[in-house]
Structures are given as structure tokens and as C-alpha cells.
Amino acid sequence: MWHNKYKLLGFIEDIVNEKCNGFSVFCDIFAGTGVVAERFNEKNIKVIANDFLDSNFIPLKAFLGTSKINFEEIEHKINLLNDLEAKDDNYFSENFGNTYFTLENARKIGTIRERIDELSNDENEKAVLIASLLYAVDKVANTVGHYDAFRKKLDTVQPLRLLVPDFEAENNINNEIYKEDANQLIRKINCDVLYIDPPYNSRQYSDAYHLLENLATWEKPIVHGKAKKWIVRTSKAIIACNQRPKLLLI
């Protein structure tokens, strides 16, 4: 799914350590999956992570922005979600069953997503549960890695299973997570290291993210065409930077 910079992490870390002798605020302004921000997330470093898509912002909020969470409660709720019976059709199965997912998995995904809204005690818990669902969904998708199309032969048939996320909440106390246009946010924040990994092209959104964004926002829009898309979004590269970070990585 999500294209990420996982393979470049060592390289990015080496450059930051070489060029920047000590820093306390690291900003990943087009954070995507958040793997880069996560690498620098330590107790004495404040991480600012931003992405304007809910399907990225919600996992960022869950894993980098949640400092108070009861993991036992989360485990209990995830077991409950995994055990839900889903025999009837719903928005998700009607639109994505028998194509991107088996009908059984699609029914379960829609049922779980609906239940998360009722089950969550607060916004952090909700973010953690939705993030867990997004990761589980991506593992059982009948695609070649993005949601531009589904594979004709529906042979990705393993059952959907949400896992209890594992993250160090105490590292997140000072972090700030945003869902803003980077062009606006850059005028409001201050950081020592600014990492800029903008989109490669504007088609990227509707091609890669429409399905996960649909599930994350859960506004149940009408979807179109064979690929069942709804999202249309474009982006500009950063145009102005008011401050001077110690290090600018692009």
C-alpha cells in the first residue's frame, strides 16, 4: 500500500547525525506512514508529524501522538472486534466485496469500522483502533500493493485479523500531530530538522489512497468506476518557509 521510506531510514539517520550535532525538534511535514518520524521519536526529541489524508493522519495520531492509552482496554476491544459476526451486507461489502476483498472480509471490515465509532472512549482510542483496522485491511487486500485496481483472480483469501499495536506511548508526550496542508503548517511551526518528502505526482492520491481514505473517514461517499474511487485531491510543493531549520532534508 503505502509507499514508505523504510529502506532509506539508515541513510536519513546518518545524514541527520552527521550534519546536525544535537537537535530537539524533528518535523516530518509530509509524513505518510510516519516511518521517518518514528525513527526519530525519542523521549528527548519532539516530533512534529503531518499529513493531510486521514488514512495517514489517524495512524500518525495513534502511534506518535498518543501518550495516554490503556493497552489492556485496547486488547479487549480488538478481541471483541475480531470476534464480531458479519453476515449481512453493508456499505463496504456492497462497494468492495468480491473485488478488492472476499465478500466475507469486506462484510467484516464494514461491520468493524461501524462498531469502532460506538466502542471508542476517546479520540486516541479511536485512532488506535482505526489504525489497527487499516493495517489489517491492507494485509488482506486483493491488489498488487495499491488500490488503482484489484486482481482479477480473488485469491487473497486469508481472514481479516486486527492486531494490538505496540508503541511506546511515553515517547509521545511532547509530540504534535497535524492534518493540515503542509504549505500552511510550515508558517506556524518551528523545528530544528525539517524533512520534506512531497508527493511524486498528484494522481498518487486517487490511485493509491482512495479506499483506505474512504475507510478512515467513513463518510460513505458514492464511489465511481471499476476501481471504485471517490477521492480527488491535488497538492502543491512547499512554497515558503518562514524559519531556518538547522537541517533541511528534501
Binding interface with ligand SAM (CB under 6 A): 2, 4-5, 30-33, 35-36, 50-53, 56, 181-183, 197-199, 235
If the CB atoms of residues 120 and 183 are measured against ligand SAM, the closer one turns out to be 183
Task: Output 33 or 99, the one with its CB closest to ligand SAM.
Answer: 33
Establish how many alpha carbons lie within 13 A of residue 123's alpha carbon, considering only the half-sphere containing its beta carbon. Answer: 8
User: Is the CB of 192 or the CB of 213 nearer to ligand SAM?
Assistant: 213
Q: How far is the CB of 176 from ligand SAM (least distance, A)?
A: 14
CB of residue 186 vs ligand SAM: minimum separation in angstroms? 9
Q: Which is nearer to ligand SAM, 92 or 178 (CB)?
A: 178
Cβ proximity to ligand SAM, 80 vs 237, nearer residue: 237
Residue nearest to ligand SAM according to CB distances in the complex: 32
DSSP the chain: -----GGGHHHHHHHHHHH-S--SEEEETT-TT-HHHHHT--TTSEEEEE-SSHHHHHHHHHHHH-----HHHHHHHHHHHHT----S--HHHHHHBTTTB-HHHHHHHHHHHHHHHHH-SSHHHHHHHHHHHHHHHHHT-SSSSSSS---SS----PPP--------GGGGTT-EEE-S-HHHHTTT---SEEE----S-TTHIIIIIHHHHHHHH------BTTTTB------PPP----S--SEEE-
Residue 103 CB, shortest distance to ligand SAM, in Å, is 30
Least Å from the CB of residue 216 to ligand SAM: 12
Q: How far is the CB of 65 from ligand SAM (least distance, A)?
A: 16
Q: For 108-119, give one letter per residue: b (16+ CB within 10 A) or e.
A: bbbbbbbbbeee
Q: CB-wise, 61 or 108, nearer to ligand SAM?
A: 61
Shortest CB 110 distance to ligand SAM, Å: 24
Q: Which is nearer to ligand SAM, 125 or 197 (CB)?
A: 197
What is the torsion angle, in degrees rounded to the nearest 10, for the CA atoms of residue 22, residue 28, residue 34 and residue 37? Answer: 10
Q: How far is the CB of 37 from ligand SAM (least distance, A)?
A: 8
